[in-house]
Structure 1
Amino acid sequence: MTTPTPWNPQDAEVQRDQRAAYDALRERCPLAHSQAHQTSVLRHAEVMQVLLDHATFSSAVSAHPAVPNGYDQPQHTAYRRALDPFFAPERMARFEPVCRALCAATVQEALALGGALEVMQEFALPFAVRVQSAFLGWPTLLQDELLQWLRRSQQATRSGERAQTAAVAQEFEDLVARVCQARRGAPPTQDVSCELMHTQVDGRPLDLRELASVLRNWTVGEVGTIAASIGILLHWLASHPDWQQRLRGEPALLALAIDEILRIDGPLVANRRITTRATELGGCPLPAGERISINWIAANRDPRVFGDADAFRIDRDPELNLLYGAGIHVCPGAPLARLELRILMEEVLARTTRITLDTSHAPTRAVAPDAGWATLRLTLA
């Protein structure tokens, strides 16, 4: 038996480059322990064990509703049965023209302003809010309010103050209540938000807290990872001009390329689990009630599975890529995220001749709970 490697997420090394720190940590031990993150699972094999053994590693880690993936069976199954149709292929095909028009307009706006961007705040985050709002059928004024709320939420999360985080959570529930009130009596076909209000689970409609949880997941959760993904993708394209040109000429390769780029540099740090009974993982004993953190970035760079993990290879087995998770809790919004990222990159590449980094402003890495880039300046031309 072994014990998890102790580590401190606040160490300067981790703050400077969490991706490199996770790589080093993973090679020392499959598990690591910190006061903040409890037990982090770092290697691909152990992460898969956690994902597939949902009886031992429960997803019910929060006292608040987290619909759907914060539940175990049978509740999880009932919620997924009700919500997965929102991301069915025919729904994605219906949303694609709306998404493409928004992507094209976003790129054209950036070019009209000269193409010099601070990507994260001026391009990635506003686009992510707009496209998720468009999917839900939310008006422009509500998009602006959501963007402002997201920035307050990020500040509250970083503060570590429970009163502050509780206050911004209540703000979001109030926003959802206003969205629902405005749609009372509207037909379910008006927009996705209306349809969601008419969606039933086990023969009953979702209550306000469940609606708030779903909409928070579809906005806050998606916006953060979509924005991080956009920054990672644009930085990679700017850093690899040969592939940038090849993907302009062969856009059919984009879907595979995007998933591989985001395997190398992940947009989401971790998800949580809790043990339901005493168990063993990676040769380490774990008691019942142990808090687990699945480190997606470390697992997706595990050289035991991805030889030469930093190398970009679109011929890798896509089933091994944990970008959207695996098992019954695989990300339900993966089809939407893939659609949005692919179309945005298609429009960026089609409407530019080059994407270059601004060498006068070195990019800075995000720190957990964020991933990717905190600041990134580049030029679209």
Structure 2
Amino acid sequence: MSRHLQLPNGLDGAEHAAFRALIDPYLMDGAALQSIEGMAREVMQALLADLPLPATVEAVTDLGAKYAVRVQQRWLGWQPGLEPRLLAWMEENRAASRSGDREWTARVARAFDEIIQGELALRRDHAGYPAGDDVTSRLMRDDRLGRPLRDEELVSILRNWTAGDLGSLALCTGVVLHALAENPALQAHLRAGLPVPAFDRVLDELLRQDSPFVANRRRATQHTTLAGVDIPTGTIVHVNWTAANRDPRTVSHPDGFGPEENAPANIVYGAGPHACPGRALSTLELRVFTQELLNATTRLSLAGETERELPPGGGYARVPLRLE
């Protein structure tokens, strides 16, 4: 739940299903994902080419955040010159979220909406842009609901795709790289080459152990009872994904590393009708990031003290790394 229009997450029932049917092909279509994979590899290879080895970097900001922004810009067809503005926005958004200051958080949200509205305006007057076939333009022309999307709907969908993914992907890279730097055997295992499904299960398991997606809220649409607790209609329920992913009733050894055995209980990306529609895309982006970094190096190790991300986020705010 949110004070902002949230598509599709803020909907239920038939309305939610209709928007998922519109949105999911952009995020799950096999041909689209294949194209994004090639683009993401180009982005990561170019980012690493600017780092003569050996090098010391900060994993979340120097690598993860820049990679996330550049991939999103290319996928959506946004102006390359937006990178500094998007990186600055990510930092302020994290600070505002940690502060608990609702007015600050609202200002930061409006600032991101203005970025999106600027991209929509560019496509409408084609100033500096061809009509093109980028994802943003296609979404603007999409009429599978029987009508074009309204501006507030376009902004909500693009905000959900980008504002959430930018910070989340950067934090995921910190979790994965910290785990690899701490575990040379796992690092060697991934370097040896794994089939894509097995590689993805390793990433999912690392995020299950230490997820950046800590919790969110839901509103009960009807009266129910859950685990003996009475929940009246309209009650706000806080869902703690981190606790659920480490629940010994479903994961026999929460601190253990079991990519295969823990996969059925892994709900890092949610479950049911509201499961994250961008799971396939996010996993692909994280896999490409990790594979390309391992391909370009022979060893990853910690290069200083790490810093945990503060609530409401999880994972790491800083992971100093030595790349060799």
Partner of 1:138: 78
Amino acid across the alignment from 1:85: P
Alpha-carbon offset, residue 74 of structure 1: 1.7
CA contact (8 A) 1:251 1:346 kept: no
Partner of 1:104: 45
2:261 aligns with one of 309, 316, 320: 316
Greater shift after overlay, 79-88 or 278-287? Answer: 278-287
Q: Does the alignment pair 1:67 with 2:7?
A: yes
Q: Does the alignment pair 1:157 with 2:90?
A: no
Q: Does the alignment pair 1:366 with 2:306?
A: no
C-alpha spacing 1:326/1:168, structure 2 compared with 1 (3 Å): same
2:107 aligns with one of 158, 164, 167: 167
Alpha-carbon offset, residue 117 of structure 1: 1.1
Alpha-carbon offset, residue 114 of structure 1: 4.1
Partner of 1:183: 123
Partner of 1:206: 149
CA contact (8 A) 2:123 2:131 kept: no
Partner of 2:158: 215
Structure 2: state its 5+ residue gaps. none
Secondary structure class of the residue paired with 1:285: strand
C-alpha spacing 1:324/1:188, structure 2 compared with 1 (3 Å): farther
Partner of 1:331: 276
State the distance in 2 between where 1:200 and 1:380 align. 48
State the distance in 2 between where 1:363 and 1:146 align. 24
Q: Does the alignment pair 1:85 with 2:25?
A: yes
State the distance in 1 between where 2:286 and 2:33 align. 13
* 1:1-381 superposed matches below 5 A: 61-87=1-27, 88-109=29-50, 111-112=51-52, 114-184=54-124, 189-200=132-143, 202-252=145-195, 253-316=198-261, 318-358=263-303, 361-381=304-324
State the distance in 2 between where 1:278 and 1:148 align. 43
Alpha-carbon offset, residue 353 of structure 1: 0.7
Amino acid across the alignment from 2:39: V
State the distance in 1 between where 2:208 and 2:47 align. 26
Deviation string, structure 1 residues 61-84 (Cα, Å, up to 9, x no partner):
234210111211221111111111
State the distance in 2 between where 1:137 and 1:315 align. 37
Greater shift after overlay, 133-142 or 238-247? Answer: 133-142
Secondary structure class of the residue paired with 2:8: coil
State the distance in 2 between where 1:124 and 1:62 align. 27
- The TM-score, its normalising length taken from structure 2, stands at 0.92
Alpha-carbon offset, residue 134 of structure 1: 1.7
Percent of aligned positions that are identical: 39
State the distance in 1 between where 2:243 and 2:48 align. 32
State the distance in 1 between where 2:5 and 2:83 align. 24
Deviation string, structure 1 residues 177-212 (Cα, Å, up to 9, x no partner):
210111116677521111111122521111121111
C-alpha spacing 1:290/1:82, structure 2 compared with 1 (3 Å): same
- The TM-score, its normalising length taken from structure 1, stands at 0.79
CA contact (8 A) 1:271 1:294 kept: yes
Greater shift after overlay, 80-89 or 244-253? Answer: 244-253
Greater shift after overlay, 370-379 or 167-176? Answer: 167-176
Amino acid across the alignment from 2:322: T
Alpha-carbon offset, residue 142 of structure 1: 1.5
Structure 1: state its 5+ residue gaps. 1-60
C-alpha spacing 1:309/1:162, structure 2 compared with 1 (3 Å): closer
Deviation string, structure 1 residues 317-340 (Cα, Å, up to 9, x no partner):
533210111111111111111111
Secondary structure class of the residue paired with 2:124: coil
CA contact (8 A) 2:98 2:310 kept: no
